Amino acid sequence: MTPEAILGHRPRLLSQAQREFFFANGYLLVEQALDAAGLSRLREAFATLEKKGEEPDCPADFEFETLPDGRRRLRQVLCAADHHPDIWKFVSSAPMTSFAADVVGPNVQFREAGISYKFPGGRGFGWHQDIVFFPSSNRSPIMTLTFVEDVDAEMGPTRVIPGSHLGEVYDHYDADGNWLGLIGEHVKSRVPVSESVAITGPAGSVLLTSCAIVHAAGENRSARDRPMVLAGYASADTVSYGGIPYKSRYRWRIVEGEPTREIHSDALRLKLPPDWDAYEGIRIDNLHQRQDN
Ligand SMILES: O=C(O)CCC(=O)C(=O)O
């Protein structure tokens, strides 16, 4: 659906002004969208998953990071919705699916949901656009980032370049054709990074980002953890070309509205990513972080 058609549907939770802001800028922060009970359920789920990460046979979806102080901590759990029922419940129901419907249209398909910890010292992500990981027939796919704790400027907040979702999809290979999963140095001079804004906010806030927005995140320089739930959705009339790096059993599940036989396509030029099916059990993080930001 086009933004105009989506805006023609009555909003569920967002105001019309918030939706217009999203379409113009490619992101929207909804502050304190979750109540205290919802947040505490998420924190309990995080604690359970962290414990599970200590088990010797924990699944490959549990990715670890060695922090500057030498400790090895859980960096993220890919497809966390597959590993904890409360994460699946959270990402497959309101308010999350209502936010998604308000910006992708009434029929919403789920892509994947992970959790990320970013402990103190945890590294960031360089500049990238999510759509290069799952080239799609249109620009409707979104990522939602739910702040499980307050996020301030020291904690490596997500940085976005407003309006960049409407422009070029940059090369995420290097000049020699090697996959980076990050915008290549040979095209970086075209990326207006000086226009980027850091998104900070209180616990319970939800950041919606377009799959085409250029974004990054810094290292966590604070003494506090920055736990987040990351959940992806798209309009039901979106088809992804090739695989996607996350292998959730809930992939493409309709979480709002109904399936459709229609396909919406936008004019897009971008390269196919590597063959994700050759990377069983792992995701982008093991593949693309050759650069530190
Ligand atoms: O952790 C963040 O703030 C950003 C994560 C991100 O860029 C992504 O998952 O694509």
> Hey, which of 111, 158, 165, 288 would you mutate to test ligand 1's pocket, going by the most ligand atoms within 8 Å of its Cβ?
158
Query: Of all protein residues, whose CA lies closest to atom 8 belonging to ligand 1?
Result: 130
pLDDT at 277 (0 to 100): 76
Hey, where are the domains in the chain?
A: 3-288
Ligand 1 pocket residue status of 116, Cβ below 6 Å: yes
Q: Which of 58, 31, 86, 8 is nearest to 208 (CA)?
A: 31
Tokens in use for 290? 């050759």
CA of 215 to the centre of ligand 1 (A): 8
Kindly provide the b/e burial profile for residues 103-129, where b requires at least 16 CB atoms within 10 angstroms of the residue's own CB.
Answer: bbbbbbbbbbbbbbbbbbbbbbbbbbb
Tell me: the pLDDT tens digits for 174-222?
Answer: 999 988 889 999 999 999 999 999 999 999 999 999 999 999 999 999 9
CA of 256 to the centre of ligand 1 (A): 24
pLDDT at 279 (0 to 100): 63
Residue with tokens 């320089």: 221
Write the CA distances from 260 to 103, 203, 253, 268, integer angstroms: 17, 35, 12, 22
Query: Is the predicted pLDDT of residue 42 greater than 60, yes or no?
Result: yes
The pTM of the full predicted model, rounded to 2 decimals, is 0.94
Sequence-distant (6+) residues with CB within 8 A of 124 are: 156, 216, 217, 218, 219, 292, 293
Tell me: the pLDDT tens digits for 230-269?
Answer: 999 999 999 998 777 788 999 999 999 999 999 999 999 9
pLDDT at 274 (0 to 100): 87
CB atoms < 10 A from the CB of 257, how many? 17
> Hey, which of 118, 145, 222 would you mutate to test ligand 1's pocket, going by the most ligand atoms within 8 Å of its Cβ?
145
> Hey, which of 29, 115, 125 would you mutate to test ligand 1's pocket, going by the most ligand atoms within 8 Å of its Cβ?
125
Query: Of all protein residues, whose CA lies closest to atom 3 belonging to ligand 1?
Result: 158
Q: What does the alpha-carbon distance between residue 15 and residue 207 come to, in Å, rounded to a whole number?
A: 15
Ligand 1 pocket residue status of 230, Cβ below 6 Å: yes
CB atoms < 10 A from the CB of 224, how many? 15
Sequence-distant (6+) residues with CB within 8 A of 213 are: 26, 27, 129, 160, 161, 164, 165
Q: How confident is the model at residue 140 (pLDDT cuts 50, 70, 90)?
A: very high
Residue with tokens 């307050």: 150
Sequence-distant (6+) residues with CB within 8 A of 40 are: none
Q: What does the alpha-carbon distance between residue 284 and residue 128 come to, in Å, rounded to a whole number?
A: 12
pLDDT at 246 (0 to 100): 81
pLDDT at 66 (0 to 100): 84
Ligand 1 pocket residue status of 158, Cβ below 6 Å: yes
pLDDT at 289 (0 to 100): 41
Ligand 1 pocket residue status of 207, Cβ below 6 Å: no
Tell me: the pLDDT tens digits for 155-177?
Answer: 999 999 999 999 999 999 999 99
Q: How confident is the model at residue 288 (pLDDT cuts 50, 70, 90)?
A: very low
Average pLDDT of the residues in 221-230: 96
Average pLDDT of the residues in 31-56: 95
Domain formed by 3-288, architecture: Sandwich (2.60)
